[in-house]
Structure 1
Amino acid sequence: MASFTLHGIPVSRGIAIGRAHLLASAALEVKHYLIGEEQVEAEVERLQNAIATVHQELQAVWRELPQDAPAELGAFIDVHVLILSDPMISEMPLEIIRERHYNAEWALVTQIDELSAQFDEIEDAYLRERKNDIQQVGERVLKVLTGSASTLANLSSSPDQGAHMIVVAHDISPSDMLQFRDRTFAGFITDLGGQNSHTAIVARSLDIPAAVGMYNASALIAQDDWVIIDGDNGVVIVDPTPMVLNQYRERQQQLVRERKKLSKLKKTPAVTKDGVEITLLANIELPQDTQAALDAGAVGIGLFRSEFLFMGSAGHNHRLPTEDEQFESYRQAVAAMKGRPVTIRTLDIGADKPISAADETALNPALGLRAIRYCLAEPQMFMSQLRAILRASAYGPVKLLVPMLAHAHEIDQTLTMIEQAKAQLREAGKKFDPLIPVGAMIEVPAAALTLPLFAQRMDFLSIGTNDLIQYTLAVDRVDHEVAHLYNPIHPAILYLLSSTIAIGAKANIPVSVCGEMAGDIKLTRLLLGMGLKEFSMHPAQLLSVKQEILNSDLSVITPRTRKILRLMEPAAIAEAVAGLRAA
């Protein structure tokens, strides 16, 4: 068979080389047929029993979690249990059986497809990826209904074989992943998924190379094919030639040596060659992610995305997490960081309703009711979150970060609500930090261009480069057709970044970057040259960025960066930015 290459989304760095192990797709072709009136209740009972069986299976998997399993796995199983309990899954398909007389499998698939379509409308990339969780829960119930066997029953238990095993699947559920726990494996390839899919998150937590969003990889790759995953570039090479195989084996060995060297930097302070101290923080999604942050040597959490707690909010009959449930998650993260600061971002989700004539903003969710706009439109929900964050501030240093602010009245309204939340907690006799710092995400060009408004009202600023680039260049960052236009070193982006950092420094307000640019070692020196002193990134990126900082001399980089900021031609900018790494 001739060698061929597939391109997907890089989500976890490194090189993996091994034999393909294909997992049977759980997306079964189910039978569609209408049932008679007299069969309705029997069919309802069949679906209820299948749902109950899956509940028991998930609980059993959770109980058997090994102590050394990544915290993310347990969290995702919790999510699957919550999804299974949601009326949108546990009750709506029963109504479809009763009203339309569909068989159980057809009713379940119909409802899963409807929910999936709703998730496609969510602007927030992290929440949109949770569609896969809903589909996996549905597929697990389908397996019980159809009596299909476990997808992993034929896995090799030989540790030697496992060490060179590349798992190839349409998608992999967290509970399926747990079946690997007694075996080692080299990497993952999935047809579905994106940067924030659970497969990507778990791959990063396990530090295993993975390529997701490969579309039809599971159909093109055959069992036992030799496969290379280039996790840095999201490239998969199938049946490589001996020469290519040897090249990647050399690269793999080099990466192993580099990682060993990097691990020695964990306790080394992040200081440039000319003695400038830089603060390196971690981005997290879950309280349990704090361990990875500490292991990487982060001096705090620069971004705790609170969206995960709200992921059930895409259904019409959703149940939002209570104030106490939120507080407990925030408190856990604060306690785990042992006195290091934790920056908690308020809910950042998009317009989460399906497109309808009555809801025109959903036609373009990126420009609709998302982030702080959504929170201000749902004051009860927002107040509940603010109280929960404030209560967590009694357990250690907490900073409160507000996304997508663009107008003075939004800032003022938010600050007023924070004061109201404080007053309510005082009245209830609950402790909190009365001087909790409040910051703004700079991710809308209007905010970057009117910074004095923010400097007068906020305690710190955090630049969300992902959205700032998306909005400035009018490029949907998840649309593959325009992805090539998404450019972090476009001169307009460099201008907004450098001016935000400079104005923050002049006003004596801390400025950090918490978007993807912060963890990209190709851009570390550029940001340092702009005067950035605070970076926040995924824990896996932290030591590489630290190494770049330790090898940087600001007295050399800064004047070169000033010259770059005067350039307009893309090729000249790209060449000059690459040249900074040789400085």
Structure 2
Amino acid sequence: MSAASDAARSILTTLHEVMAARTHTQAKLNQVVEMIGEALDSEVCSIYLLRDGMLELFATRGLNQAAVHVTRLGIGEGLTGTIAQNIETLNLDEAAAHPEFQYRPETGEEKFHSFAGVPIVRRERAIGVVCVQHIDPRKYEEVEIEALQTVAMVLAELIHNAGLVDDEDAAGGPSEAITGQTVCEGLKLVKGLALGEAVFHQPRVHIEQTVAEDTEAERQRVYLAFDRMREQIDHMANQAEFGTGGEHEQVLETYKMFAYDEGWSRRINEAIDSGLTAEAAIERVQQRTRMRMREISDPLLQDRMHDLEDLANRLIRIVSGQLGTAAQKGLTKDTILVAKNLGPAELLEYDKRRLKGVVLEEGSLTAHVVIVARAMGVPVVGRLRNLRGLVREGDTVLIDGDAGKVTLRPGNGVLSAFEARFARSREKQAAYAKLREVEPFTRDGERIEVMINAGLRDDVGMVAMTGADGIGLYRTEFQFLVSAALPQRERQARLYREVVDAAKGKKVIFRTVDIGGDKSLPYLANEIGKEDENPAMGWRALRLALEREGLMKVQARALLEGTAGRELNVMFPMVSEPWEFDAAKDVFEKQIAWLKKRKHQLPSAIRYGVMLEVPSLAETLDTLLPRLSFVSIGTNDLTQFLFAADRANPMLAERYDWLSPSILRFLARVVQTCVGEPVDLGVCGEMGGRRLEALALIGLGIRRLSITPAAVGQIKELVRKVDTREIGEAMRGWLANPPPDMRTALSEWCEAHDIEID
């Protein structure tokens, strides 16, 4: 048994006796601070509890007794307030040197130099702080801090049971912050409006009993939980669909390394030795992990510590028997899903009819769940700190994904305004729906192809629902993103076959897998390279696929088999130079030869194309055109490459305009290169789904747009109001002599021609 376990067990035994005694609450707390101070040989021990939104000094050993119930600190105020706000531990050899230090003269603490404090946490919320001080300037030993953290964990339940704090106070602020309307601003991840009731993705595991009655029984519970967790991890490894010895095994080994880490299990055992239950012991070690994560600046090490956090969450759910998510229980009402973070496969488990939006405490523009949510048309707002401390299950939640705002428990006025805005949106959608069977011809008779972007099997139904001309971009990587291991060839082929069948004869353009960069796969992490300083311009898409020839061979065969007897349109992403296209096409040609030799049925026709996303390709496009059937300009990546601006960076996301003369002149040059060549030229990306931008593209000569399904109706309506000769002439004039603001010039042109803009 370690020194930390000895100290903690000694304190816990006495603490349990003190709190079980039939004495007044204040007398108990007075005994507790004396007991902790003596056990840790500390001259000061103080307990602050959260009452009416303030941290109130409830008991102290070593400070002036006159300060008890007098000294009060706000959340975030002073060292104690900082601990409660950040739910973190502080260990300082010189308290006054900390930037948040505040001196309170009534406490008489000026003679004490060292300071250590830990939060008293209940149900993920700080309900108080226990801190110790010493006259000598020294940091407390790690064993002393661990003992203090263990005591704080037990103290949380005892304080709550004694009725010293209530649930509103435990939220970390005044009760109004929990019961009234609250507006939170976060990061715009997926645009859109949504209204529903809050449902937690993972119901909280509430640790109701922290002190163990039988240490050996708790140890056995942990051993069994470890065995089950390791079985789950091994099962993930055995599901690898490319056989043994693949790269997925190298990545899963990292995950397994943590699952089988003897140091981790030893620390949990030591926490049990100190007198904690299995659940409390895991949580205790997890708290220590979180502390270390805050001290780590290396992003790769932080990722690995997050892996350990994920495993700890899995272990605590197994040992407590509280498995499963809200998806498995089923949604019964219009729902706003609340989560710390979320995986793409987890999101797909939810009933799309009931899931209206997602709000995340973390989340980023590049997260896989955001890519899938955008395809599903589910608004998402992220980076909402302490969200789960501000909202309860069943609360009404309003999402404005366009502004990155989330309103909790909206008042009647806000609800009425939202419903009116939503009603206007529905009216427009109803008008657009009437154009479903109408072909999008311009006023001067030009046919514009309006297609959709897709990535999920269910997305294909939107072709018929919107009246789109087909799928201009089918993102094959979605199948890879939601899989625990590389999807096998038969599974890929089955998906491609189902997609072509569901399209009912309309064109489908399959983009080969675009992974890497913002779409990393855990089972290919070593290949993709997590250490890319600029992943969007790193080892991704066709670059990775050509290097990983086995990956591309399998997908090529799957596409050829899945579209047998029908036309195959295949598009290669991130082509920078013509030789990359030639190399990718050669992979397909070799698979065609292999299938021919074995008398397999082939597609009736094969059309090859490229995504023009890397500006360098435009410089050699003329030499490549004779070998192409089509070109799709990927405006999302192209924009960030032209401006050297990472679109995942929120500081830059709105800075560069798609209607900048730089972008439009570049696109005009590409269009001119393709004039007279037997290739179809189109645009894939969000740019084509916005009315003003779509108008500019038509003016440049673009005749195929592939956009989000939600935008099809409004773009078809726009097309029918446009004369390509008029907008073409206007665009040529603007590009020759750019106006001060191209967006304003286009808007004024629309107003003069009675065309409604966004």
Instruction: Give the TM-score category using the shorter length.
Output: 0.7 to 0.9
What does 1:159-558 align with in structure 2 at a 5 Å threshold? 162=333, 166-171=336-341, 187-193=357-363, 209-221=379-391, 227-238=397-408, 243-311=413-481, 319-350=485-516, 362-433=532-603, 435-558=605-728
Q: Find the aligned partners of 1:345 and 1:178 in 2 and give their Cα distance.
A: 21
1:59 corresponds to: none
Tell me whether 1:572 sits opposite 2:572 in the alignment: no
Q: Is the 8 A contact 1:462 1:511 kept in 2?
A: yes
Q: Find the aligned partners of 2:261 and 2:308 in 1 and give their Cα distance.
A: 18
Tell me whether 1:143 sits opposite 2:312 in the alignment: no
Q: Find the aligned partners of 2:530 and 2:419 in 1 and give their Cα distance.
A: 53
Match of 1:477, SS?
Answer: coil
1:87-146 CA distances to partner (integer Å, 9 max, x unpaired)? 559844442248864549589998xx99xx9xx88xxxxxx9xx9999989846642333
1:11 corresponds to: 190
Q: Find the aligned partners of 1:517 and 1:216 in 2 and give their Cα distance.
A: 34
1:236-278 CA distances to partner (integer Å, 9 max, x unpaired)? 3456566554433322221122222222211111112222111
Q: Structure 1's 511 and 232: CA in aligned 2 closer, same or farther, altered over 3 A?
A: same
Deviation at 1:541, TM superposition (A): 2.1
Q: Is the 8 A contact 1:528 1:558 kept in 2?
A: yes
Q: Find the aligned partners of 1:496 and 1:285 in 2 and give their Cα distance.
A: 28
| Higher Rg of the two aligned structures | 2
Q: Find the aligned partners of 1:539 and 1:55 in 2 and give their Cα distance.
A: 40
Q: Structure 1's 455 and 247: CA in aligned 2 closer, same or farther, altered over 3 A?
A: same
Q: Find the aligned partners of 2:307 and 2:475 in 1 and give their Cα distance.
A: 18
Of 211, 225, 232 in structure 2, the residue corresponding to residue 46 of structure 1 is 225
Deviation at 1:212, TM superposition (A): 4.1
AA in 2 matched with 1:539: P
AA in 2 matched with 1:336: A
AA in 2 matched with 1:21: A
Match of 1:255, SS?
Answer: helix
Q: Is the 8 A contact 2:511 2:572 kept in 1?
A: yes
Deviation at 1:566, TM superposition (A): 3.1
Deviation at 1:24, TM superposition (A): 7.3
Match of 1:417, SS?
Answer: helix
Match of 1:283, SS?
Answer: strand
1:14-68 CA distances to partner (integer Å, 9 max, x unpaired)? 3x456x535275686999xxxx999999745423435779999xxxxxxxxxxxx
Q: Is the 8 A contact 1:334 1:395 kept in 2?
A: no
Gaps of 5+ in 2: 1-179, 236-247, 269-277, 754-758
AA in 1 matched with 2:418: Y
1:21 corresponds to: 198
Match of 1:565, SS?
Answer: helix
Q: Find the aligned partners of 1:258 and 1:500 in 2 and give their Cα distance.
A: 34
Deviation at 1:579, TM superposition (A): 2.9
Greater Cα shift, 419-428 or 287-296: 287-296
Q: Find the aligned partners of 1:531 and 1:401 in 2 and give their Cα distance.
A: 21
Q: Structure 1's 485 and 51: CA in aligned 2 closer, same or farther, altered over 3 A?
A: same
Moved over 6 A (4+): 27-31, 36-42, 51-56, 106-110, 131-138, 173-180, 353-356, 358-361
Q: Structure 1's 398 and 3: CA in aligned 2 closer, same or farther, altered over 3 A?
A: same
TM-score of the superposed pair, with normalisation by structure 2 = 0.60
Q: Is the 8 A contact 1:281 1:301 kept in 2?
A: yes
Greater Cα shift, 556-565 or 524-533: 556-565
Q: Structure 1's 207 and 286: CA in aligned 2 closer, same or farther, altered over 3 A?
A: closer
Q: Is the 8 A contact 1:460 1:510 kept in 2?
A: yes
AA in 1 matched with 2:200: L
1:61 corresponds to: none
AA in 1 matched with 2:679: I
Q: Find the aligned partners of 1:17 and 1:564 in 2 and give their Cα distance.
A: 42
Q: Is the 8 A contact 1:512 1:534 kept in 2?
A: yes
Q: Structure 1's 499 and 336: CA in aligned 2 closer, same or farther, altered over 3 A?
A: same
Q: Structure 1's 198 and 259: CA in aligned 2 closer, same or farther, altered over 3 A?
A: farther
Q: Structure 1's 332 and 89: CA in aligned 2 closer, same or farther, altered over 3 A?
A: farther
Q: Find the aligned partners of 2:554 and 2:348 in 1 and give their Cα distance.
A: 35
1:72 corresponds to: none
1:75 corresponds to: none
Q: Which has the higher contact order (CA 8 A, sep 6+)?
A: 1
User: Cα RMSD (Å) of the superposition?
Assistant: 4.6
AA in 2 matched with 1:524: A
Q: Structure 1's 47 and 285: CA in aligned 2 closer, same or farther, altered over 3 A?
A: farther
Q: Find the aligned partners of 2:736 and 2:490 in 1 and give their Cα distance.
A: 51
Q: Is the 8 A contact 1:3 1:240 kept in 2?
A: yes
2:95 corresponds to: none
Q: Find the aligned partners of 1:435 and 1:176 in 2 and give their Cα distance.
A: 37
Match of 2:736, SS?
Answer: coil
Match of 1:281, SS?
Answer: strand
Q: Find the aligned partners of 1:38 and 1:233 in 2 and give their Cα distance.
A: 52
Deviation at 1:226, TM superposition (A): 5.6
Q: Is the 8 A contact 2:195 2:356 kept in 1?
A: yes
Of 236, 260, 271 in structure 2, the residue corresponding to residue 95 of structure 1 is 260
Deviation at 1:478, TM superposition (A): 0.9
Deviation at 1:216, TM superposition (A): 4.3
Q: Find the aligned partners of 1:175 and 1:25 in 2 and give their Cα distance.
A: 14
Gaps of 5+ in 1: 57-82, 122-127
Q: Find the aligned partners of 1:185 and 1:414 in 2 and give their Cα distance.
A: 39
Q: Is the 8 A contact 2:453 2:473 kept in 1?
A: yes
Deviation at 1:189, TM superposition (A): 2.8
Q: Is the 8 A contact 1:193 1:212 kept in 2?
A: yes
Match of 2:570, SS?
Answer: strand
Q: Structure 1's 345 and 536: CA in aligned 2 closer, same or farther, altered over 3 A?
A: same
AA in 1 matched with 2:640: Q
Deviation at 1:577, TM superposition (A): 3.0
AA in 2 matched with 1:6: E
AA in 1 matched with 2:457: P
